[in-house]
A and B are shown apart, each in its own frame.
Chain A
């Protein structure tokens, strides 16, 4: 089986063969490795790779996973599977210029109202997560078209909090 796995910024083309129930071989970057693997729990694997022991922890799905090894987390994506999904997803992704909180938060204060004209970098909304306040700013000059939230609302990361029509 051929894979293209992306680990952080590196893409690894991999050929992989399942030898038996607990054994696979893989060729990564022209280097063949033997992997003996035992599942300890849903999130826990014991691996012996070329004789070396690793206790690794996994979480995710078949397309992407977080793998933890020795306290470090490696985010891995299966590029072939993700590309199949890409078309569906791109249509609704948020743009970097949207007014969105970086983490799940609570809306503390809304500093503008519908119809207001705002300048680039003007503070428009203050959110608070775990007692830390973050001020969100307009990323361009424009007019506040619609505010989707009220003070005190709980909001998700990347949720669009207001629409600003660009001048």
Chain B
């Protein structure tokens, strides 16, 4: 087993990986950029290496610096987390070339599955159903128009090396095709360093259901049931759960088998996720394989009682799987809410800034994978995820109630989050009835404004905060208030 692992990531996922390493008696090395010198993942690690400037290319995306950090600290394995270099075959290759174990699949597998066009072809050949549509590997405007015409609008533009909704656009009419392709390509270039894009039929009423897989290097492959991740904004999941309300035991079995077929067809080793679209007639179509640990992996961990990171590390160390398909039994129901620094009232725009106050919920069946703390400055350079709130309960109904109470007791002040929106989603009839399709938010919460029923209590709190003894400002009159706050000073700033 490895004695020391470098975690080539930041935020909540780096912290979460370190927790398992610690339990396994493995030392951890963090890496960080200028803005992250006091980030939680740095403080939680046994040691840390400064990579450089805050731009991802100078830090978390810099292969050379990360490999050097591993060698200098004597780390013999690297866990890439998700995002950044997690699905970069060059990084996996660089690890291999330097005798460092990459905790994930081989460079060739990442390369093939990372190219969504090649992945579709591998799946289609092995009999795994793929989304209706066509692949066009060109940047020619006319070819785009022809492809879209032949698939039929609406079409979905995706980045060939994509993931996490980056570089994705739905196009309903030909007039918007050119601009959408260009922005998607530009976003793909920024996020993945590759501007190749392709096109699929966009299914309006479909669910996003994915299967977690674990494959060892001895050729054993199992699946760990499904996750339903249909509640999305900007094609990025925000609420995930398992089990899915849409799966019968036989459909689950069928999709699990398809996922294992997909894994074997591609020569997969380590943890991965096979994503499918499930239409309302129970037909499912291959979307893509995510060759890494998923953001939403905790819901699977809750219902299967399996630590996915522990199995990832064991597989990377060459151990055979210590569980078989028969050991995998789902108990109860788990839900995850992703807590991003974003403004749900303003098109989910990112809301970076300083966390003025943070209080995490606790209680039976509550897990919060968190990467921030009070007074931490959420940087503008990286993904805005702050934490993942996960609950586990006997039934879906109880899990929903548990999540509602956990969200009510989650306080984040200083940056905006979608906690209020999530409360309304979980309390809504369509969610409670399991009517979750990928257009869920647009359909039911398109012009969402928060339900604020305690305005008088809020006014009372305002007064108490200002007037009572022991307050910060110790006000005695309303006249001593000519001291502008930092925000007001900045309010009219011009640079």
Contact = CB atoms under 8 A, between A and B. Distances in A.
Interface of A: 1, 3, 5, 7-8, 10, 12, 14, 16, 18, 21-22, 24, 26, 28-29, 31, 33, 35, 37, 39, 42-45, 47, 49, 54, 56-63, 65-74, 76, 78, 80-81, 85, 89, 91-93, 102-106, 108, 126, 128-135, 148, 154-156, 159-160
Contacts of B491: 89, 93
B383 A57 contact: no
Given A12-B455, A35-B460, A47-B460, 5 more contacts: A67-B461, A72-B450, A76-B462, A105-B380, A130-B383
B266 to A, nearest CB: 27
A129 B415 CA distance: 14
Contact of B493 (A24, A26, A58, A156): A156
B469 to A, nearest CB: 4
Interface stretch (B12-20, B270-278, B472-480): B472-480
Nearest to A61: B485
Contact of B351 (A35, A56, A103): A103
The 6 A-B pairs at the shortest CB distance, nearest first, are namely A74-B458, A92-B492, A37-B464, A130-B350, A43-B357, A71-B408
Chain B, interface residues (CB within 8 Å), range? 35 or more
B249 interface: no
A26 B460 contact: yes
A39 B382 CA distance: 35
A44 B464 CA distance: 11
Given A129-B350, A133-B190, A16 B463 contact: yes
Interface in B199-220: none
Nearest to B483: A61
A54 B461 contact: yes
A12 B404 CA distance: 29
8 contacts: A1-B467, A24-B463, A37-B464, A67-B458, A71-B410, A130-B350, A131-B166, A159-B495
Given A16-B463, A45-B465, A155-B495, A131 B190 contact: yes
A66 B471 CA distance: 16
A5 B462 contact: yes
Contacts of A1: 467, 478
B413 A59 contact: yes
Contacts of A134: 349
B82 to A, nearest CB: 13
B437 to A, nearest CB: 23
A136 to B, nearest CB: 13
Interface string B443-454: 000000011101
B481 A81 contact: yes
Contact of A24 (B346, B452, B458, B467): B467
Contacts of B411: 57, 68
B83 to A, nearest CB: 9
Given A12-B459, A47-B460, A74 B352 contact: no
Contact of B466 (A21, A62, A103): A62
Nearest to A84: B481
Contacts of B187: 131-133
B414 A148 contact: no
A160 B494 contact: yes
B420 A14 contact: no
B190, B341, B461, B478 interface centre (most CB from chain A within 10 Å): B461
Contact of B471 (A5, A39, A89): A39
A94 to B, nearest CB: 8
A132 B234 CA distance: 10
Contacts of A37: 464, 468
B325 interface: no
Contact of B452 (A8, A108, A130): A8
Interface string B305-340: 000000000000000000000000000000000000
A4 to B, nearest CB: 10
Given A57-B411, A76-B462, A92-B494, A104 B419 contact: no
B462 A89 contact: no
B454 A69 contact: yes
Contacts of A16: 463, 467
Nearest to B234: A132
Given A12-B456, A62-B475, A72-B454, A43 B464 contact: no
Contact of B420 (A7, A21, A73, A155): A73
Contact of B407 (A8, A24, A71): A71
A155 B408 CA distance: 34
A105 B190 CA distance: 14
B488 interface: yes
Contacts of A45: 461, 464-465
A147 to B, nearest CB: 12
B234, B341, B457 interface centre (most CB from chain A within 10 Å): B457
Nearest to A18: B467
B89 interface: no
Nearest to A14: B459
A116 B450 CA distance: 42
